Structure 1
Amino acid sequence: MADLTPIPLPVLINRMFRELEAKKSAFHLPRFKFAKAAAGRDLSTSIFGRRAATPFGPAAGPHTQLAQNIVLSWLAGGRVIELKTVQVLDHLEIARPCIDMETVGFNIEWSQELSLQQSLEEYVKATMLIEMAKAEGFAPGLEDTVIDMSVGYDLDGIRSDKVRAFIAGMKDASTVIERLRPQIPEAYARFRDLAFPTCISDSVTISTFHGCPPSEIEAIAGHLMAEEGLDVVVKLNPTLLGKADLNALLHNKLGYTDLVVPDATFEKDAKWGDVKGIVSRLGELADKLGRGFGVKFSNTLLVHNHKQFFPAGTGEMYLSGPPLHVLAIELVDRFRAEFGDRFPISFSAGIDVGNFADTVALGLKPVSVCTDLLKGAGYGKGAEYIADLADRLAEVEASDLDTYALKAFGLAGAALDDLDLPAERKAKLAAALETGEDLREAAGPDFDAWVSAARLRNTAHYAARVRADRRYSRPEVDNPPRRTGVALALLDCETCGKCVNVCPNDAIFRYPLSQEPVVTAVLQPGPGMVVGETQPVTRAQQIGIFADVCNRCGNCDVTCPETGGPFARKANLFGSASSLDDAPDRDGLAIERTAMGLRLHVRDDGRRFTIEDDGTRLTCNGGGFDLSIDPVSPEATVGTSDSPVDIGRLILFARIARAVTAPTIVTYANAAFD
């Protein structure tokens, strides 16, 4: 099991601002890929009366668990941050690997990997870092941000003292903020007096998960509105389509005949009739309480595991990506056919740059992303979403998202037929549409109704379009990431950086290493030193893993052209000796700065030892040996050992430690030294 160890706030601050100064990037996201406001285009939306500068954001999942993930999502343009689902069971063991993005998207990850207290602190740290970024002028015109909680999975758990304390802390985080405020490093003391928002979130998305009884869904939502005073969104499952219709789309229309939903899932999940009643009653309750209520489409789709990627014995997995987009849009269409535009709908299913702007045109908010950010440029795609949406508004000469909804698909004229207005009034609005007048001004009090009618027309139009769009169908030949068949090693690989981009936790980094060959020198207890051939270092840049925030999800392994997985084969760097000791099944090193130089805490092939590096010699002990090594002349090693020791490897560890803490680069390791 790979447990996450949150990075302390001072380290995150040092890392972010040092990297910005040295490399014009933050957490590996280049500054030129930070989202930018579009002149003359208002991309903002309202989430239960709260302004979000864009309708884009990360979905609840691997991108919204740790503080640096959330900040990365924000820098990329996410202004509605859906936090990872938390529950009362906060010490889970989740099988690894858990994320498979080889073709579409599958995962077996479903809940938080931190304690509830750790989760609360991560979310507070993230909002503090975002406020610091705003203060430095990172996103002029795109400041407004909405953060949404996600909780599950049963009423008893949500009523527990632990979950209620978490919710209370999210509504009023002043205690946590004041505890963290003094930790802001002296070099950034200018941020200590910022007015950090004390309410992190007062809205929540309920993750009903698969098999949650309809009565339980309603009871959870009612409790959160009435007892916790929260605005509530209920996330619904694709199985609402029913077995026959879902399979007709998934198998017959899209061609994913190998994806089989267990019959028991349809039996246990809420049915359409159940949801109609639940939504109507919860809508009435929300009106009575003065709270907001909406729905989300959709949860992932539970299917039989027919692949070999996940650990043996994994019987089921969750589908995401392109095919889920079609299923979820179908549900949006059906929901609006039933309820019109009465309830706000948030959306996350197979969103990518190619369909984001179209989906926004349906009036869905937010439109959030997960699978697409786990591929290719990762967080770097965010600015493309924002830029493409701005371009689409410009194409139809829309200044805001409501006007864009009217014009996006050319259905504003047809939508007039759905309004209960006098014929002469409709004719006047149609003329305004033709002459390019300001539609908001022309429609006046009828504008909102016109926009709602257009959203409904857009939804039916888009649902029909995606059903027929071959881009969502299974390709005749799968096109998985390129593989070379070369086995990864501790040093040297293609250094393509794909693993860096797709890691949701910012755990993977590049570091420069001198191309001095690695000496093969083994000290034998009896005959002494045996010096063999040197191994070349062929790459000036190497790949490392910051183990504290690597949960071995497997996504880097899927993306890497070589075999073995960067998380398993590359140098694993721990933030402290204690976090190294807490991962006894994982080799790696933790680095401390001492008065004499560096102290390395190392586990290699299960053997635990320390290396003191004073810049001229290495003093190594533990693991059955006590040695003094000259890194230049390893044959001059003196000391004792009760078993063979690879002296060249010890020297290599020292070289890596010096490299990742060098002042010329920025890593979590040297950010911890202040």
Structure 2
Amino acid sequence: MELHPLPLDTLLLRAFTELERRDAIFDLPRAKWYTPPADLDLSCTFRTERAATPVGPAAGPQSQMVQNIVLSWLAGARVVELKTVQVDDRLVIPRPCIDARTLGYNVEWSQELRVDDALREYVGAWMMIRILQEAQVMDLPPGAGDVLFDMSVGYDLQGIRTRKVSDFVRSMCDATAVIDGLRPLLRGRFAKYRDLDFDPRVAAGITLSTFHGCPAGEIEGICEYLLRELGTHVVIKLNPTLLGYETVEGIVRGELGYEHVQLDPAAFEHDLKWEECQQIVERLEGVAQACGLTLGVKFTNTLVVKNHDTFFPNDPTMYLSGAALHVLSTQLAAKFRARFGDRFGISFSAGIDQKNFAEAAACDLVPITTCTDLLRAGGYGRMSGYLTRLGKLMRDKGVATRGDWILTAEGAGAELAPEVLGAELGGKLAAYLGEAGAKDARAWLEAEGAAERYPELVARAGAANLARYAQAARQDPRYGFEKNKKPPRKVGSKLWLFDCISCDKCVPVCPNDANFTLEIAPIDQASEEVVLGDDRAIEVRAAMRYTAERSHQLANFADWCNECGNCDVFCPEDGGPYVIKPRFFSGEASYREAPQHDGFYLERVLPDGWRMRGRIDGLEYTLVRVGGQPDRFEDDSLALELDPEAGTVLGARPFFRAKPGHVLPTWRYLAMRALLQAVLDAGAVTPVGALAAVE
């Protein structure tokens, strides 16, 4: 099943309806949004541009569709690394593809949408964020909503130089045509946003993702092409294999205790080496400067390991993320910073969560991106906790800016001030930073006529913090096997179409917001069986009692579900919500695309009716409801008329092709009736209801 984005007008209708009715957008309640406080400035500079916070999703499952990106922004992301685009946009990704039970493994890689579709999703997300700001859906201090999009492209020079990928980059740098193509969707209640001044420069830079084993010359050639020909800032995403096999094995299998992790020696043999890395960035530094652009590095990509488990049944290798990668990546970041100082910006992605984000921010890493943690219980809502904790720690130190947090988090600013500023001025600043109460180092230096020294002091303090933190991470038990060996709890019960323990964990853990809740009228009634006799006579006989005890139910929107398997990991019951729970499709096209799956889709029947087509246990059914008339329910052999209130059979007739002995059980009608009514009652707060409302 491929992903199928929804049009921008449908997404807007759903978001604003949900906001009005549930005080949430895309199933993220306002309580989980990040509301920036007016007294703190967490802003940073990335690629010469300002972002209101240094956090965002890494290129991955949280950054490939409009709703993903909007959810990230609501939770506080202000640097969004968009999912990698490559020339081969017809990938067949293994399913499941994400295993976040313990450490974090995956077998996915680039954008699952066609390149043109990905472009529209990224630009659509850019426009929707602007609309949400204009609509003042949250109280934002000036500049607190400022967000940067960062492209990610891969994986080799030949592919990146193709017209498909290069035109994608050019269109992201100037999206005027795409924006104008989407403006007509801003109609009805959203027409007032049609002429908004959407910035056509959706992204100005690229984080380069290369194949594991990509030669040094290839990496350098790609960067030169991006800088010279496409005119973008460049960040090179580097691999943890730069540390060398012995070091990685010693840390992962030795110090951290992940003895079950099997490294792949071939990955280290063929990957970029440390000496090559140094040579590349030094040469490319001059190229970037000549082009008036910036060059940075990112630590790190995932780590290739051998597949030691059965979760991914057909893949010999998989990609490790999470806690163990965090330790490796901090070692590399510290090593690089020690070698190059602040000549190159460093962005970071590896095992970031609420408990270490503030510490990473103190290391002057920009941006700090996250993925694995957002796959866990709570989903995108976990990100707002990163920033909330950072804000609390900053207030505890009496500081209000990210730069001053870097100076005071570990006392590095006071330690280094005499060395950077000279003994007299540095000593005075050190004393000031040690005082209780509020402080502002930049303003203090400005009063002393030395404001220009502030960036250098912050950079030096960030490097010192990073060196300390990298060493401490190796000894921190929270990154070791013992703290990360326990998978999410299972209770031993099985999922069914209706009813479960209703924990709703499957909703936020889905990166695409494919799982959603519905309220049905509970069912507890005797069903019937309609039987076609040998003489084509119809017999209606009593059958099983059909029940759905709970009103609160879970469902799945198939067009947004890539069957990654993450909701199954965190569901306490067995079977997988994305497999067992009612699966809705946007229409006939996507429904027919997945004949192996049960599911349903709605069609409007003029003037005021609905048709629901569905597949249950592999068999096709149709339910038609038109106001004031009996419901019509049929399979391939029988057409029934039923009382829409009582759910009992009023009449039946066979189709010409029907065979004697055919049985049509009405419990399937009862199930579809409940789902149809629930979707219509919910209205546009669900993706299915939003589609119906727009049509």
1:606 counterpart = 2:613:
no
Residues of 2 paired with 1:438 and 1:78: CA distance?
Answer: 25
Residues of 2 paired with 1:343 and 1:353: CA distance?
Answer: 26
- Asked whether the 8 Å contact 2:408–2:414 carries over to 1, the reply is no
2:653 to 617, 626, 639: 639
- Asked whether the 8 Å contact 1:518–1:652 carries over to 2, the reply is no
CA pair 476-50 structure 1, distance change in 2 beyond 3 A: closer
Opposite residue 425 of structure 2, the aligned amino acid is R
1:503 counterpart = 2:510:
yes
Residues 627-661 of structure 1 deviation map (CA, whole Å, 9 limit, x = unaligned): 33334253434012443322220232122011112
Counterpart residue number, 1:472 = 479
- Asked whether the 8 Å contact 1:209–1:237 carries over to 2, the reply is no
1:454 counterpart = 2:454:
no
Q: Which TM-score applies when normalising by structure 2? A: 0.94
1:445 counterpart = 2:470:
no
Counterpart residue number, 1:338 = 339
User: Higher mean Cα deviation, 88-97 or 32-41?
Assistant: 32-41
1:556 counterpart = 2:567:
yes
Counterpart residue number, 2:428 = 428
Counterpart residue number, 1:658 = 677
Following superposition, the deviation at residue 521 of structure 1 comes to 2.9
Counterpart residue number, 2:371 = 370
- Asked whether the 8 Å contact 1:98–1:107 carries over to 2, the reply is yes
| 1:21-420 aligned within 5 A | 21-137=20-136, 138-141=138-141, 142-310=144-312, 312-416=313-417, 418-419=419-420
- Asked whether the 8 Å contact 1:508–1:545 carries over to 2, the reply is yes
Following superposition, the deviation at residue 49 of structure 1 comes to 1.4
The answer for unaligned runs of 5 or more in structure 2 is: none
3-state SS of paired residue (2:360):
helix
CA pair 178-266 structure 1, distance change in 2 beyond 3 A: same
1:522 counterpart = 2:535:
no
Counterpart residue number, 2:631 = 618
Opposite residue 108 of structure 1, the aligned amino acid is V
1:667 counterpart = 2:679:
no
Residues of 2 paired with 1:40 and 1:456: CA distance?
Answer: 26
Following superposition, the deviation at residue 567 of structure 1 comes to 0.4
Opposite residue 9 of structure 2, the aligned amino acid is P
- Asked whether the 8 Å contact 1:520–1:649 carries over to 2, the reply is no
1:587 counterpart = 2:587:
no
3-state SS of paired residue (2:623):
strand
Residues of 2 paired with 1:664 and 1:6: CA distance?
Answer: 19
Q: How many residues align?
A: 671
CA pair 308-519 structure 1, distance change in 2 beyond 3 A: farther
- Asked whether the 8 Å contact 1:518–1:648 carries over to 2, the reply is no
Following superposition, the deviation at residue 169 of structure 1 comes to 1.3
- Asked whether the 8 Å contact 2:173–2:200 carries over to 1, the reply is yes
CA pair 633-497 structure 1, distance change in 2 beyond 3 A: closer
Residues of 1 paired with 2:200 and 2:643: CA distance?
Answer: 54
Residues of 2 paired with 1:52 and 1:297: CA distance?
Answer: 20
Residues 474-499 of structure 1 deviation map (CA, whole Å, 9 limit, x = unaligned): 01783211111111110000110100
Following superposition, the deviation at residue 586 of structure 1 comes to 1.8
3-state SS of paired residue (2:277):
helix
Opposite residue 242 of structure 2, the aligned amino acid is L
Residues 269-292 of structure 1 deviation map (CA, whole Å, 9 limit, x = unaligned): 101111011111111111111111
Opposite residue 260 of structure 1, the aligned amino acid is Q
Q: Which TM-score applies when normalising by structure 1? A: 0.97
Opposite residue 445 of structure 1, the aligned amino acid is E
2:499 to 472, 492, 496: 492
- Asked whether the 8 Å contact 2:414–2:434 carries over to 1, the reply is no
- Asked whether the 8 Å contact 1:634–1:648 carries over to 2, the reply is no
Residues 13-57 of structure 1 deviation map (CA, whole Å, 9 limit, x = unaligned): 100000001111100111122211123211000111111000111
CA pair 519-182 structure 1, distance change in 2 beyond 3 A: farther
3-state SS of paired residue (2:633):
strand
- Asked whether the 8 Å contact 1:511–1:665 carries over to 2, the reply is no
CA pair 321-518 structure 1, distance change in 2 beyond 3 A: farther
Following superposition, the deviation at residue 622 of structure 1 comes to 5.2
**Identity, % of aligned positions:** 42
Following superposition, the deviation at residue 109 of structure 1 comes to 0.9
User: Higher mean Cα deviation, 168-177 or 600-609?
Assistant: 600-609
Following superposition, the deviation at residue 669 of structure 1 comes to 1.7
Following superposition, the deviation at residue 417 of structure 1 comes to 5.6
- Asked whether the 8 Å contact 1:418–1:453 carries over to 2, the reply is no
User: Higher mean Cα deviation, 451-460 or 327-336?
Assistant: 451-460
Opposite residue 301 of structure 2, the aligned amino acid is N
Residues of 1 paired with 2:647 and 2:30: CA distance?
Answer: 44
- Asked whether the 8 Å contact 1:28–1:506 carries over to 2, the reply is yes
- Asked whether the 8 Å contact 1:250–1:323 carries over to 2, the reply is yes
Following superposition, the deviation at residue 304 of structure 1 comes to 1.0
1:567 to 578, 589, 593: 578
User: Higher mean Cα deviation, 99-108 or 145-154?
Assistant: 99-108
CA pair 663-208 structure 1, distance change in 2 beyond 3 A: closer
CA pair 131-263 structure 1, distance change in 2 beyond 3 A: same
The answer for unaligned runs of 5 or more in structure 1 is: none
